Every structure is written in C-alpha cells, then in structure tokens.
Chains A and B, each alone.
Chain A
C-alpha cells in the first residue's frame, strides 16, 4: 500500500467503531449507580426530620379537634368517603368508636416520633403510611396539598433507607457494623428516583395548569387568594403587598416559570441551586401570607433530597458551630463539665481544686 493511499475509514465510521460498546458501558454505569452507594442519604435524613416534624406539629395542633374532623365526629362525610376507594386497612376508622380512634391517633403520633428520630424505619415507615392514610381517609377534603404529598411520599419512602444518617438506626448500625446489602441499595435508589420524579411532576404540572389560566397569564393571579378570607391571613400586609402592580406581576410570573422550569433546572448545579432557593422563597411566602405552614413545610422538605450531602454536612457543621461556639453556649458547656466532673469523681479521690484533709496520725 502506498504512503499516500486514501484511508478507507471516515471519522464518523471510526467514532462509531469506538462506540460499539456504548450500550454496554451505559448499562454498566446505570447498574453501578444503583448498587455502589445509597445516594442522597443526608438529603433523606433532612427530609425525614423536616417532614416528620411538620407531621408531628400537624397532629398535635389538631389534637383538640381530632375527634371531630377525623374521628367519630367526621361521620357526616360517610356518604362521600365510602366511595373514595379507601379499602382495608385504610377504612378501619370509618366505623370505629372514640376508644379505637384515640388509640389509633396516639399510635400515629408515636410512629411519627419514631420516624422523625429514625428508629427502626424499615418497619415504622410502612406502619406510618397505613396509620396516617387511614386517618387522612376519614376526611380527605379537610387535607391540604401537603397531606396528599406526604401520603404519596411515604409510599416511596418505604423503599428508602431514610435512617442511614443522623438517626438512631445509624447509631445502632455503627455499633453493630452490619453490612449493607445490594438489594437494599437498589431499592433505596429506586425510591430516590421515585421521590425526585414525583417532586418534578408536582411542580411541572402545577406550572402547566397555571399557564393555562388567564389571571396567571396577565400576571395578577397571586393577588386573588391573598384577598380572600380563607387565605388572606394578614389582610393589612396583603393589601400593602398587592398595592403595586410590579411585585404582583413578578411573584405571579416567577411562580409559573420556576414551577414549569424546575425539572430542567435540575441538570446543572448552579441552576439547581437557583431553582431550589426560588421555590423555598415561594414556600415561605405561602406559609406566612396564606397561612399554610404545614403544606409549605412538607412540600419543601422533599426538596432536601436534591441538595448534595456535602452541602448538608457544611450546613450541619455551621449550625453546630453557631449553636455551640457562642459565649452563652461555651459558658453553659463549662458549667455542665464542672458539674459532671464533680459527680463522676471516684469516692476518696481528692479534687484538684480542693485541699486534702490531713491524714490522721493513727
């Protein structure tokens, strides 16, 4: 073959030849992602603690009137709720008397506390799903979007190792050094995919519905609920905030754009941060101005899985430093340390700062 003979391979053909094992490499990458680690474990810890706290707050706040809205007093909903598809075991409360109802309610609170603390979550999470869903099914219309959202999330969280970090389970596992199984990791990561997909669906579809509404299109939509009796919790404040056109327009458009764009903004670290901060701001506004703190809190808590573990560790470290390294905390620690030293000093041993009694001569 001559030196100047033209090559028979084109760059495209050569590239294709090199990519012949691309499907196999992609499959390997996907499989490795599912088995090598349990992803977003710190994010799930934050989600567990935050959503557990909001659920606990919700149950405690409504405790004085629970019998009326979910217990026997909710019997007036029977013609409506009996066709909603809440079958066994979710219909157990429909014919329950006050004794069974209150037992169920207290057990639900106990399960929420166990979930929040990350205690035996492999068992507690499915039980909490059943307990909470049955309670919710008693009076679905009284629920808000947050109640719907956490009910769906609890189903996915059954697959997830939610107590891998910052939990009682994590402490116990560290002591026993029990190994993690591949099957557990696969289920955990599928659960993560479901949680992220659900979060994306919620925001994307909420935005998709909004963009069809004329009041969302003309940039005045956020004014209306804020002026209603049901959602205008602070009438004076909302009057002030909706006085000018520009803030109303910006709030309306930012809500729609952030919700529709949310799934697409997740692909890049910077845009993801912008999306999460924007939505956190939106949730805070809804919580305060519309009087829906549990709805907003539960929705926002799921966003935690989209924040990296490194960021959560940095936030936790900063929090710990802020809380423990201030003057008050240092003084308190010093006092506690002194007290503990006095208490734990063995009998007969003289403390350093005390003078020893002279030993008797005989």
Chain B
C-alpha cells in the first residue's frame, strides 16, 4: 500500500495549528486546574487569555458540594425620597420583605424543564456573597449602613486617584468587585419591586441569607432551625434604568 504524502500547505497547517492547539490545551489545563506554583507563575497572562469567550471553570460542585439554600430578600420604600429619609415617623411607606429566590424557586419543584428566570436572584446571590466575604469587618459595617444620597458607599470614587492612594491594589480590586455586585443586586431588587410598585420605588434594601442543609448525619432528625448567615446591603437609591429595561420587566 502506498503511503499518502503530505503536501506543503497541509504540513504548514499541521505544524502551526497543532502547536497553537497544544499551547491552548496546556494553558487550559493550568488555568482550570487547582492553584499551583506553575499557575501562579503564569499569571496575569493566563487570566488575560481566558477573559471573555474562553472563560471556563470545572470545579463543578467541588471541592465543597452545594450545601446551602441561598436567598435574596428585598424591600422598598415607596414614598418620596425626603419622606423615606425620615422613616416611618415622617410618613414613609415601606413594603414587606419579599423573598425573591423563594418566589422564583416555586417553579423548580417537580419541574426538570423550568426556565432560567427562576435562577436570577440565586446567581446574583452566588456572585455577591464571596465578594462581600472579602470585605473587612469595617467595610462590612459600612455597606450595611444606609447610603441614600447617591454618594459613593466607601466615601470615595473607587476609580479615582484618591482611591488608589487610600487603598492598596488588592483592597481596591476587592472593593471594586464588591461595588459592581452590590449595584447588580440593587438593580435586580429595584426591577423586582418595580414590577409591583412601579415608579413609586425610591429606595431598596437587600439582604442575602444562607441556610445550611442539615448534615448527612442529621438527615433523619434535622434541627428545627437551620443555621443561618446573612450579608446585608443597607438602603440604597433605586437604580435608574432606561425604558427598554423597564419594558422587559413590565
């Protein structure tokens, strides 16, 4: 049998694309794998390469499996801003707490083909929680306070040179990530409350709750009250969205 001979163009393609493919797979192995000195030595190039469409992570339900119920709760002030600022004594009207996640999850029970709308608050919670966990105790108490005048939560524009002087790069990165996710949570909270109360929503308050699933050993006799942990965002002005966004939530 005669051996097939490779032509020049396919040979070049095989060498060039083969090399690129090998490099890409090696980088994927390093990027998606557990933290190693090799992975650390390849940073920040690895993070830059896998930003956007190549982003991936395969620590599915690991190292710790998903072992808690995550809830996002929201309430709103539906009076004028001045009244809201003065509280109930100034005649402000506050809504009850809405457990957004519990309401969304109702459609998941006994439904394998539930759509993704029922995961919105859960995934906001899932992104917000680790970002909030990286804050210091002092920063945590700052974000739990009320900031209704629209000024920066941490007292400084996090993208200004003043912020760069105040915080070291790692702290600043944590604060910026937190701020983005707080804005996302407040944004979802605003849209959720506006569905019911329309433009009357002037302020929103968001709370994140985690309840641990009873341990395997306790499965036959679960505790009456599950252990809970909270992350709270104080009162914030309702996010402003353009008409297209509001129309999608109407």
**Residues of A participating in the B interface, judged by any CB pair closer than 8 Å:** 28, 31-32, 34-36, 61-62, 64-65, 67-69, 71-73, 75-77, 79-80, 83-87, 90, 97-98, 133, 137, 140-142, 145, 148-149, 151-152, 155, 159, 181-183, 185-187, 190, 193-194, 197-198, 201-202, 205-206, 208-210, 212-216, 220-225, 227-231, 233-235, 242-243, 248, 287-288, 291, 293
Contact = CB atoms under 8 A, between A and B. Distances in A.
Contact of B6 (A31, A68, A69, A84): A31
Contacts of B122: 230
A186 B8 CA distance: 12
Given A32-B3, A201-B28, A209-B58, A76 B67 contact: no
A123 B14 CA distance: 21
A264 to B, nearest CB: 15
Contacts of B214: 227
Interface string B95-130: 000000010010011111111110110111011000
A65 to B, nearest CB: 4
Find the residue from A31, A149, A198, A209 having the highest chain B CB count within 10 A: A209
Given A72-B242, A98-B244, A215-B64, 4 more contacts: A201-B32, A206-B58, A206-B62, A293-B113
B60 A186 contact: no
18 contacts: A31-B6, A31-B11, A64-B115, A73-B249, A76-B188, A80-B127, A80-B184, A85-B51, A86-B53, A181-B10, A185-B10, A194-B25, A205-B33, A205-B59, A213-B63, A230-B105, A230-B122, A293-B113
Contact of B184 (A79, A197, A198): A79
Chain A interface secondary structure, helix, strand, loop or mixed?
A: helix
Interface stretch (B16-24, B137-145, B227-235): B16-24
B191 interface: yes
A103 to B, nearest CB: 14
A291 to B, nearest CB: 5
Nearest to B116: A142
Contacts of A235: 109
B65 A73 contact: no
A190 B66 contact: no
A221 B7 CA distance: 54
Contacts of B33: 205, 208
A206 B60 contact: yes
Contacts, number: 228
B110 A71 contact: no
Contacts of B57: 148
A248 B117 CA distance: 31
A72 B62 contact: no
B6 A182 contact: yes
B180 A227 contact: no
B245 A72 contact: yes
B131 to A, nearest CB: 10
A126 B60 CA distance: 27
B249 A151 contact: no
B61 A221 contact: yes
| Shortest Cβ-Cβ A-B pairs, 7 listed | A73-B248, A76-B187, A85-B51, A85-B52, A213-B63, A209-B62, A224-B67
A186 B4 contact: no
B124 A141 contact: yes
Chain B interface residue bracket vs A: 35 or more
A182 B184 contact: no
B24 to A, nearest CB: 7
A227 B14 CA distance: 50
B8 to A, nearest CB: 10
A260 B177 CA distance: 33
B68 interface: yes
A220 B248 contact: no
Nearest to A189: B14
A233 B109 contact: yes
Contact of B55 (A84, A223, A234): A84
Nearest to A65: B117
Contacts of B127: 80, 141
B245 A76 contact: yes
Interface in B208-250: 213-214, 216, 219, 239, 241-242, 244-245, 247-249
B38 interface: no
A64 B117 CA distance: 10
Contacts of A197: 25, 28
Interface string B55-85: 1111111111111111000000000000000
B58 A205 contact: yes
Given A90-B52, A215-B65, A225-B66, A205 B32 contact: yes
A154 B117 CA distance: 25
B34 interface: yes
A145 to B, nearest CB: 6
A228 to B, nearest CB: 6
Given A75-B242, A76-B241, A230-B70, A187 B17 contact: yes
Contacts of B88: none
